[in-house]
Amino acid sequence: MGILQRRVSSRADQSPLWQTFRTHLAAAALSAYPLFSRHLKMSTFLFRRAVRLAGLALCAYLVPAHSAPVTTVIAEDSFAYTSGQSVVGKSGGVGWSTSWEFENPNFSQLEVESTGLTVPGVSSTGGGLVYVLNGALQLGHAARSLPQQDTGVVFVQFLSQFGTQSGGGSPSVRFGAVWVGNNGGCGSPVYALIDTTAGVFECTTVPLATLSAVVLRIDYTAQTTQMWVLPSLSGFDYLNPPAPTVQRSGFAPVFSRFSLYARNPARIDELKVFRVANVVPAPAMPQPVPVDSWGALGAASGLILLAGWWRRRRQ
């Protein structure tokens, strides 16, 4: 046992992974030592089996833990309200700072519909928002505040379907200085990422009338805003996404308010603001190893292998 302790302790690799393996191996060795002493004179066939088991045990301990994406919701609303009512004054969802409101009493208010929008890869619950002419102006509007976003990487996601015309500031889904929609700046009614600080339109080829999942990725460190307009989010990897539909470099607007301006028809659903990060699980704490467990057998096999090697060196 002294030989084993000296040889293991002399390893230069002092990484947490090696330390964890060494702790498990030492515990297993102490439990398996009686088994080792009884089987020191094992046959050649069993010795080879032991070598294989030792290799498997070593591999099992040295396999690194895989990271897993973790989503942190900042604010979201699935519009699970009573159908046919105005969304103004509603306060469902999570993470918001205010209830839904509107800024001009002459605007038409968006109402709740019982059936929301659905695309593959997005869990849809509750209803959705739909334009209904119920004011002096044909422009429908709703707005809601949330905590200010200005650091790291923030995602904004929603489902939407608009009409075949654009202009007069609509349709536009607004997060601070970034607008998603159109304002007559693309020559045709297609989805666009609009930088209102510079008056620049990053136009897609996706018609506004197409039911789409819209994903914005705002990177405040790299000062870049990317947008995906897709018919499905099945398999979409937020940490390693595909090439964006459009993007705008040097543009990462701070925002603390969501606003929607649209004319008939207009539908929006499953609004969500969130972050996604990789989280590596902490290594498990070493546990006592039963003598008849695979870990003990692997450790015993490793001891036998070391003993055989040491005996050959002495001969």
Q: Where are the beta strands (DSSP E) in 114-188?
A: 128-130, 140-149, 153-162, 172-175, 178-181
What is the C-alpha separation between 159 and 55, in angstroms, rounded?
51
In 3D space, the residue among 249, 211, 210 whose CA is nearest the CA of residue 227 turns out to be: 249
Q: What is the DSSP letter of 133?
A: -
With cut-offs at 50, 70 and 90, classify the pLDDT of residue 309: low
With cut-offs at 50, 70 and 90, classify the pLDDT of residue 46: very low
Report, as an integer, the average pLDDT of 268-291. 75
Residue 15: both structure tokens together: 């990484």
Residue 281 pLDDT = 64
116, pLDDT greater than 80: yes
Taking CA atoms, 44 is separated from 8, 195, 231, in Å, by 25, 74, 62
Q: Identity (one letter) of the amino acid at 38?
A: R
Residue 135 pLDDT = 73
296 by Cβ neighbours in 10 Å (0-12 / 13-18 / 19+) ranks as buried
Under 8 Å between Cβ of 169 and 269: no
With cut-offs at 50, 70 and 90, classify the pLDDT of residue 300: low
List the single range of 36-45, 225-234, 257-266 with lowest mean pLDDT: 36-45
Report, as an integer, the average pLDDT of 30-55. 50
With cut-offs at 50, 70 and 90, classify the pLDDT of residue 137: confident
Residue 304 pLDDT = 58
Residue 35 pLDDT = 47
Report CA torsion sign: 39, 43, 44, 49: negative
Question: Which of the two residues, 154 and 284, has the higher pLDDT score?
Answer: 154
Residue 132 pLDDT = 84
* Inter-residue long-range contacts of 80-87, CB under 8 Å, 24+ positions, other chains counted: 80/125, 80/126, 80/127, 81/112, 81/126, 81/127, 82/112, 83/112, 83/113, 83/114, 83/127, 84/111, 84/112, 84/113, 85/111, 85/112, 86/110, 86/111, 86/112, 86/134, 87/111, 87/112, 87/129, 87/142
Per-residue model confidence as pLDDT tens digits over 190-228: 999 999 999 999 999 999 999 999 999 999 999 999 999
The DSSP H or E segment spanning 77 is strand 68-77
51, pLDDT greater than 50: no
